[in-house]
Amino acid sequence: MDGEKSTADIAAEYNISKTSVREWAKKYGEECQYKNTTSENTGINTAQEIRRLNQMLREKDKEIVFKKSSGILRKGNRLVVYRFIDDNKGYFGLRWLCRHFGISLNCYYNYLEGKKDEYHMQRDAIYERIKYIYYNNNRTVGHRAMRIFLSRYGIHLSKTTIHKYMNKNLNLTAVIMRKRPGYRTCKKHKIFNNLLNQNFSVKEKNKVWCTDFTYMCRHNGRTRYNCTIIDLYDRSVIASVNDEHINTELAIATLEEALNAEKNPKGLILHSDQGVQFASYDFVNFCRKHGITQSMSKAGCPYDNAPMERYYNTFKNCFYYRFTFENEELLDEMTKSYVNWYNYVRPHSYNKYSTPMEARFS
């Protein structure tokens, strides 16, 4: 370069490479181009170059300091960012900070005038309510169910807002359902016809019940079994019984408990899989004696009894996998408590997020 200072002089003065000086001069076009004209024009261009370089160095320093000090702020709430701007606007500049945080000047001035104080107080109260619901339901409530729980307290928010509050702001996540193992099909055979054909919508209560078994492996190496009956009308649990044996007696005991609870309804269809317990001589005779019509899924097709599969998925992930049971008596007692929570507290998507009992007696 021509003029009072050469490229080498400028590079040495500002402790930068000569390549950087040349690149900046080229990048900013005519302002950094020097022509061999009069000494007056050369002096003006040199001064412009120095001012431009000084500005770029200041911007570079800001970027370095900002990266070191603001990483945690991008994960925090807006109030923390506002306080950071208050403390550092003298060095960085107000507009520069707002631009890098993605905040409008109007929002910042509203903060200074206290216009958002009431909003922040209301949001903090919602945060506390969300945490109360989350931890009092064994951390099994996701953002969809949380919307229903909040509406019971008169708090009406969109799913998107609740999802942001829970996952981003409060770091609260619901139970992740475990993947089920694949089913191995076997030779197709029929005991009773499938009367449902995957039509699980029922208009009246106590017309179609579904039943199935599940196992619960214990820490002592033993296994306890559960048999449950649900009503397809509202997905409510009619009966749920635990036992150390998975046999016909357990299936009959569960069905008998359900019949007593609902006072022996007439014209009932009981749908199950083709398990030997449901196809046994004693169980078939018990159903005939009480005027119950049996229906069965195709062998190896869990979709034919999808509501029961879905119930046991919730049962395992929201209850059984979350606790350690010292003995069988405690497991049986807590199973009853879970069924009560499932029927009376947990919102169900099939009932448009009413609880099963709310749908049953509405």
Same domain? 128 vs 238: no
Instruction: Please classify residue 318 by burial: count the beta carbons closer than 10 Å to its beta carbon, then call 0-12 exposed, 13-18 middle and 19+ buried.
Output: buried
Same domain? 48 vs 106: yes
pLDDT tens-digit readout, 107-150: 878 777 776 677 778 888 999 999 998 888 878 888 888 888 99
In a domain, 233, yes or no: yes
In a domain, 179, yes or no: no
In a domain, 194, yes or no: no
What pTM value is reported for the model?
0.57
User: In the prediction, which pLDDT does 237 show?
Assistant: 96
In a domain, 195, yes or no: no
In a domain, 198, yes or no: no
Same domain? 12 vs 106: yes
For residue 154, give its domain range. 117-169
Same domain? 162 vs 215: no
Same domain? 233 vs 336: yes
Q: Where are the beta strands (DSSP E) in the chain?
A: 208-217, 223-231, 236-243, 269-272, 293-296
Which percentage of the chain shows pLDDT scores above 70? 82
What is the arithmetic mean of pLDDT over 324-344? 92
CA–CA distance from 197 to each of 137, 144, 297, 302 (Å)? 35, 29, 8, 12
Same domain? 237 vs 347: yes
In a domain, 147, yes or no: yes
Same domain? 140 vs 260: no
pLDDT tens-digit readout, 51-109: 777 677 666 666 655 555 555 455 456 777 777 778 878 877 888 778 877 788 888 78
